[in-house]
């Protein structure tokens, strides 16, 4: 699956745009140099804009080359990235300093240009229709048709590669964009040469080429004084599979677990929480199996078929493309307050089933650990353990579902 068709355009809200849609990097860097002058100029910012060009250029070089690059983050770029692999988007979305809007396979079906194999399309269609039927059997009139389609799509996408091509609108500071490009280079240098790495690095190359075409790359901002790496991936030696990080729960917490690519893509959007992942060799962590396929749900008309086993066989048949339903190791770290904020998003029947279940399991583990150690924070977390978010203290639900139950099957 190639990504040679990855395309980047700058949206009109991006400053310093040229008439041909490229970026005026020189003007942007000079503008940042003027802003940097406020730190040194006794007469304030206005005086910086009146100084000689040579003085401003000297300040630009001084800040860029000395690693004091935050001044170049005043310039925000909004990129429309077409045909971007989902896994590439997840790299961008794990760095914290961004805003993103992304076409979702939860609300839309894969397009003809998503780069999927015939087998993936076949399995997606097969399971989409099975899930539609099972949702109708088990929930009937409890859900509107639109919601039923959304849930069927949400589950069927497990049969598509995490490298399927989608579209992302991504807003990022100029300096951070260059920092990302630098960290992508570091990732490539440290790559183990797996098929996963090859696919991801291909997208890095395509993205870098587009950024250069748009004049977004400044060599002075590609430095790595602090030996930074992409935050998404566990560093060499930090083996999540061997519990390099101990599970700890208190005012802050750290926990390691497995979940699918699809669920992790939801989890990482909580930017106040730190996440990193480890990609398995093969399918050692297994696959997400939708609860609808379990024996406790109605499966009328399937002639005794073991749908769970059939699901496992189908998804294993495409394991080489890294399906969205494949489980990976996840390491999550944050504070109690930020975990509670996560609960306010995910303890909801509108949240995708797997991310809700994983969050709820962590909540149970967190509460048990605080009680076991008689931690003073236990009473702060306890009100969030007995109900979905609509029952949380101080929370106002803007779209009541009428059935806020933790007894979910989808």
Domain span at residue 358 reads 240-288+325-391
Whether residue 311 lies inside any domain: the answer is no
pLDDT above 90 coverage of the chain, percent: 86
What tens digit of pLDDT does each residue of 83-142 get? Answer: 999 999 999 999 988 999 999 888 888 877 789 999 999 999 999 999 999 999 999 888
User: What does the pLDDT read at residue 281?
Assistant: 84
Residues 275 and 143 in one domain: no
Nearest to 106 by CA among 151, 76, 42, 145: 151
User: What does the pLDDT read at residue 242?
Assistant: 66
The CATH number of whichever domain residue 345 belongs to comes to: 3.30.1360.170
What tens digit of pLDDT does each residue of 164-175 get? Answer: 999 999 999 999
C-alpha span between 223 and 63 (Å, rounded): 12
CB distance 199 to 1 below 8 Å: yes
Residues 76 and 199 in one domain: yes
What tens digit of pLDDT does each residue of 203-251 get? Answer: 999 999 999 999 999 999 999 999 999 999 987 667 787 666 689 999 9
Whether residue 401 lies inside any domain: the answer is no
Name beta bridge partners: 330.
257, 277
| Beta strands in 97-221, from DSSP E residues, in sequence order | 99-102, 165-173
Whether residue 310 lies inside any domain: the answer is no
User: What does the pLDDT read at residue 7?
Assistant: 98
Whether residue 251 lies inside any domain: the answer is yes
Average pLDDT over residues 300-319: 96
Residues 131 and 176 in one domain: no
| Confidence bin at 4 (pLDDT 50/70/90) | low
**pLDDT above 60 (res 3):** no
Whether residue 210 lies inside any domain: the answer is yes
| Confidence bin at 1 (pLDDT 50/70/90) | very low
- Counting the structural domains of the chain, the total is 3
Q: Which of 264-268, 281-285, 370-374 has the lowest mean pLDDT?
A: 281-285
C-alpha span between 319 and 9 (Å, rounded): 33
User: What does the pLDDT read at residue 87?
Assistant: 98
| SS3 call for 233 | strand
Average pLDDT over residues 139-160: 94
Residues 21 and 92 in one domain: yes
Residues 136 and 262 in one domain: no
**pLDDT above 90 (res 147):** yes
Instruction: Identify the DSSP state of 70.
Output: G
Whether residue 404 lies inside any domain: the answer is no
Residues 44 and 134 in one domain: no
């Amino acid at each position: 699956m190639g990504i040679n068709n990855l395309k980047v355009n700058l949206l009109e809200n991006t400053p310093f745009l040229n008439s041909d849609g490229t970026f005026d990097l020189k003007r942007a860097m000079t503008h940042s140099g003027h802003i940097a002058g406020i730190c040194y100029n006794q007469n304030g910012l206005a005086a910086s804009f009146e100084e000689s060009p040579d003085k401003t250029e000297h300040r630009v070089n001084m800040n860029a080359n000395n690693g004091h690059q935050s001044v170049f983050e005043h310039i925000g770029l909004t990129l429309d990235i077409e045909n971007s692999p989902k896994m590439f988007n997840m790299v961008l979305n794990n760095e914290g300093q961004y805003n993103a809007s992304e076409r979702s396979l939860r609300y839309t079906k894969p397009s003809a240009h998503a780069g999927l194999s015939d087998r993936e399309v076949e399995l997606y269609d097969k399971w989409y229709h099975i899930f539609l039927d099972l949702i109708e059997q088990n929930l009937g009139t409890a859900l509107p048709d639109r919601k039923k389609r959304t849930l069927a799509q949400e589950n069927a996408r497990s049969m598509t590669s995490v490298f399927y091509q989608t579209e992302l609108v991504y807003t990022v500071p100029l300096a951070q964009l260059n920092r990302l490009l630098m960290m992508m280079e570091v990732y490539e240098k440290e790559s183990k040469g797996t098929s996963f790495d090859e696919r991801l690095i291909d997208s890095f190359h395509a993205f870098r080429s587009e950024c250069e075409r748009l004049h977004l790359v400044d060599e002075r901002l590609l430095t790595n004084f602090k030996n930074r790496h992409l935050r998404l991936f566990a560093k060499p030696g930090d083996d999540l599979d061997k519990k390099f990080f101990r599970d700890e729960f208190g005012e802050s917490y750290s926990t390691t677990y497995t979940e699918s690519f699809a669920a992790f893509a939801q989890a990482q959007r909580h930017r106040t929480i730190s996440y990193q992942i480890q990609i398995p060799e093969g399918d050692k962590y297994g696959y997400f199996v939708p609860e609808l396929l379990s024996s406790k749900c109605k499966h009328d008309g399937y002639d005794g078929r073991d749908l769970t086993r059939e699901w496992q066989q189908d998804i294993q048949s495409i394991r080489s493309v890294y399906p969205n339903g494949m489980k990976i190791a996840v390491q999550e770290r944050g504070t109690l307050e930020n975990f509670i904020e996560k609960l306010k998003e995910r303890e909801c029947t509108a949240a995708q089933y797997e991310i809700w279940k994983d969050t709820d399991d962590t909540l149970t583990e967190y509460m048990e650990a605080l009680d076991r150690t008689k931690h003073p924070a236990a009473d702060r977390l306890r009100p969030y353990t007995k109900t979905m978010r609509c029952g949380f203290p101080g929370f106002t639900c803007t779209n009541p579902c009428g059935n806020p139950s933790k007894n979910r099957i989808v």
